[in-house]
């Protein structure tokens, strides 16, 4: 070996290489084991979450035995307590009108006058005919008396006396007929003055000075309409199943759109006591005091009728009901937290709350809002217990 040549490198120890390989293998095993353990933990958590989600979470309520106040809200139409369309009984022309719409009137107050020249002439003619009939009656009376005197002395035949007496009877009948004609025309003449039949307000005027007036034209427009608005009627149609609960003198709260928040009190005054075959409702009339004059006939109104409470009926929220092909049911939960579906009937629907007629007991635990797809025997998880709220 030349002195300038460097020494050759030492070969690595095989033992060192083996140790390094072992360390790397151990590290790899540790990494793989940790990955497997993490994966198993994730799978376990996923399985636990899936199992948890598979069991529905529900809130339970107990059927309420409290007396639920309930109300029946219905639309209605206000009407005048008394309403009288005024038509003409005689033909002619309107001479003058003395009241306009909105005018308060008293019974017997003059509304308008009609000029009826034809009727006036008929009355004059009837009076002339009456005078003629009365004159003929007077002459027949004197004649009959004279002939009766002659007949008593046998100066004339009995037949002649009977004829004169019969003629007197005819003349008396004609005079009465003429008097009746005069009386009738005088009564008609009184109708030239249109007067109010009762205290009220003029709500309609359909005529003016000079207008042609036709007698007995009830098929056309009324000349005036008088309405008594001191009291008003309100007609409502009560559904058939609520009719037994709404009796005479039942209190009714009335509201109108023009006075929001203000409530007027009325009472049921009359019932038709018959069900309309087309609507399934019974017509009832409510009377409301309107001495303040705020309410107007013909106006739309809302009515609220308080129904008597049933202290024996069990009540549950309407959302607890299940409607399906098997009918109306309620989902209850037993002590083992398993579902039991019970068939029920509704005694009264109060909107947010329904009164149960049959199928439930006060001890039942009812699912407040049952999820879709519940069947008998399903396991559920209960999170809390609530109570149904009474209808406000």
CATH of the domain at 369: 2.40.420.20
- For residue 260, what are its two tokens? 């929001």
Domain identity same for 39 and 110: no
Question: 9: which residues sit within 8 A by CB, 6+ positions away?
Answer: none
The DSSP line for 110-122 is: EEEEEE-HHHHHH
- For residue 194, what are its two tokens? 């249109």
Least confident of 83-87, 213-217, 225-229, 335-339: 213-217
Cβ(174)–Cβ(133) below 8 Å = yes
Cβ(126)–Cβ(178) below 8 Å = yes
Query: Which residues on adjacent β-strands are paired with residue 212?
Result: 93
Domain identity same for 92 and 190: yes
Q: Domain range for residue 131?
A: 88-195
Instruction: Please report the pLDDT score of residue 68 as a whole number.
Output: 62
Please check whether residue 229 lies inside any domain of the structure: no
Domain identity same for 106 and 22: no
CATH of the domain at 168: 1.10.287.470
Instruction: Please report the pLDDT score of residue 389 as a whole number.
Output: 47
Encode pLDDT of 303-333 as tens digits.
Answer: 999 887 766 678 888 888 998 888 899 999 9
Q: With H, G, I as helix, E, B as strand and everything else as coil, classify residue 218.
A: coil
pLDDT band at residue 19 under the 50/70/90 scheme: confident
258-266 mean pLDDT: 93
Q: Which residue has the higher pLDDT, 129 or 32?
A: 129
Encode pLDDT of 202-243 as tens digits.
Answer: 999 999 999 998 887 666 789 999 999 999 999 999 988 888
**Final residue of a structural domain among 132, 166, 195:** 195
Q: Which residue has the higher pLDDT, 138 or 215?
A: 138
**Final residue of a structural domain among 195, 213, 242:** 195
Domain identity same for 101 and 191: yes
Instruction: Please report the pLDDT score of residue 306 as a whole number.
Output: 85
Domain identity same for 121 and 169: yes
% pLDDT > 70, the chain: 83
Please check whether residue 62 lies inside any domain of the structure: yes
Domain identity same for 186 and 115: yes
Domain identity same for 64 and 99: no
Answer yes or no: is pLDDT of 49 > 60.
no
Least confident of 95-109, 178-192, 365-379: 365-379
b (16+ CB within 10 A) / e for 318-355? eebbbeeeeebbbbbbeeeeebebbebebbbebeebbb
Instruction: Please report the pLDDT score of residue 82 as a whole number.
Output: 92
Q: Could you tell me where the DSSP H helices lie in 80-204?
A: 117-152, 158-190
Please check whether residue 277 lies inside any domain of the structure: no
Query: Which residues on adjacent β-strands are paired with residue 289?
Result: 231
Name the phi and psi angles at 145, rounded to 5. -65, -45
Count of beta carbons in the 10 Å neighbourhood of residue 87: 19
Domain identity same for 112 and 24: no
239-263 mean pLDDT: 90
Query: From residue 11, how far is each of 15, 17, 22 by CA, in Å?
Result: 12, 12, 20
Name the domain count of the chain: 3
Please check whether residue 275 lies inside any domain of the structure: no
Q: Which residue has the higher pLDDT, 274 or 390?
A: 274
Domain identity same for 125 and 61: no
pTM here?
A: 0.61
7-21, 209-223, 273-287: which is most confident: 273-287
Helix axis angle, 158-190 to 117-152, nearest 10° = 160
pLDDT band at residue 40 under the 50/70/90 scheme: low
Query: Which residues on adjacent β-strands are paired with residue 185?
Result: none
| CA–CA gap between residue 231 and residue 76 (Å, rounded) | 16
Instruction: Please report the pLDDT score of residue 188 as a whole number.
Output: 92
8-18 mean pLDDT: 59
Q: Burial level of 1, CB count in 10 A (0-12/13-18/19+)?
A: exposed
Please check whether residue 227 lies inside any domain of the structure: no
Answer yes or no: is pLDDT of 268 > 70.
yes
Domain identity same for 316 and 378: yes
The DSSP line for 356-390 is: EEES--TT--EESSPPTT--TT-B-EEEEEE-PPP
Answer yes or no: is pLDDT of 200 > 50.
yes
| CA–CA gap between residue 43 and residue 353 (Å, rounded) | 45
Taking alpha carbons only, the member of 134, 218, 118 closest to residue 173 is 134
Please check whether residue 5 lies inside any domain of the structure: no
Q: Which residue has the higher pLDDT, 23 or 49?
A: 23
- For residue 346, what are its two tokens? 């509704």
| CA–CA gap between residue 44 and residue 210 (Å, rounded) | 101
Encode pLDDT of 101-136 as tens digits.
Answer: 999 999 999 999 999 999 999 999 999 999 999 999
- For residue 169, what are its two tokens? 């009877």
| CA–CA gap between residue 129 and residue 126 (Å, rounded) | 5
Instruction: Please report the pLDDT score of residue 290 as a whole number.
Output: 93
90-105 mean pLDDT: 93
Report the DSSP pairing between strands 70-86 and 224-239: antiparallel
Please check whether residue 225 lies inside any domain of the structure: no
| CA–CA gap between residue 382 and residue 380 (Å, rounded) | 6
Q: Could you tell me where the DSSP H helices lie in 6-116?
A: 14-54
Mean pLDDT of the residues in the chain: 84
Question: In the chain, what's the furthest Cα-to-Cα distance?
Answer: 215
Please check whether residue 98 lies inside any domain of the structure: yes
**Final residue of a structural domain among 195, 222, 241:** 195
């Amino acid at each position: 070996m030349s002195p300038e040549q460097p020494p050759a490198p030492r070969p690595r120890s095989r033992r060192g290489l083996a140790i390094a390989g072992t360390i790397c293998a151990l590290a790899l095993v540790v990494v793989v084991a940790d990955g497997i353990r993490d994966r198993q933990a994730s799978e376990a958590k996923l399985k636990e979450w899936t199992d948890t989600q598979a069991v529905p979470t529900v809130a339970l309520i107990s059927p309420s035995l409290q007396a639920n106040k309930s109300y029946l809200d219905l639309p209605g139409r206000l009407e005048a307590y008394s309403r009288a369309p005024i038509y003409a009984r005689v033909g002619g022309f309107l001479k003058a009108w003395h009241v306009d719409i909105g005018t308060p009137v008293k019974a017997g107050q003059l509304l308008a006058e009609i000029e009826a020249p034809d009727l006036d002439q008929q009355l004059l003619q009837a009076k002339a005919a009456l005078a003629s009939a009365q004159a003929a009656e007077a002459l027949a009376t004197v004649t009959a008396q004279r002939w009766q005197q002659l007949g008593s002395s046998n100066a004339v035949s009995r037949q002649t006396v009977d004829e004169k007496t019969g003629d007197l009877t005819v003349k008396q009948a004609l005079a009465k007929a003429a008097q009746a004609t005069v009386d009738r025309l005088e009564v008609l003449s009184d109708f030239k003055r249109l007067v109010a039949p009762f205290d009220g307000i003029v709500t309609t005027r359909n005529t003016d000075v000079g207008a042609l007036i036709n007698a007995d034209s009830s098929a056309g427009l009324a000349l005036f309409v008088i309405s008594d608005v001191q009291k008003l009627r309100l007609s409502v149609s009560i559904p058939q199943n609520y009719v037994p609960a709404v009796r005479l003198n039942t209190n009714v709260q009335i509201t109108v759109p023009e006075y929001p928040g203000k409530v007027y009190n009325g009472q049921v005054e009359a019932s038709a006591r018959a069900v309309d075959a087309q609507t399934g409702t019974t017509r009832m009339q409510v009377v409301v005091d309107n001495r303040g004059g705020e309410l107007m006939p013909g106006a739309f109104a809302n009515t609220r009728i308080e129904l008597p409470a049933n202290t024996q009926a069990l009540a549950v929220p309407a959302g607890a009901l299940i409607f399906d092909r098997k009918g109306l049911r309620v989902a209850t939960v037993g002590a083992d937290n398993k579902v039991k579906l019970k068939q029920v009937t509704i005694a009264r629907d109060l909107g947010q709350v329904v009164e149960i007629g049959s199928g439930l007991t006060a001890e039942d635990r009812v699912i407040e809002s049952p999820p879709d797809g519940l069947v008998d025997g399903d396991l559920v998880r209960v999170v809390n217990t609530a109570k149904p709220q009474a209808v406000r």
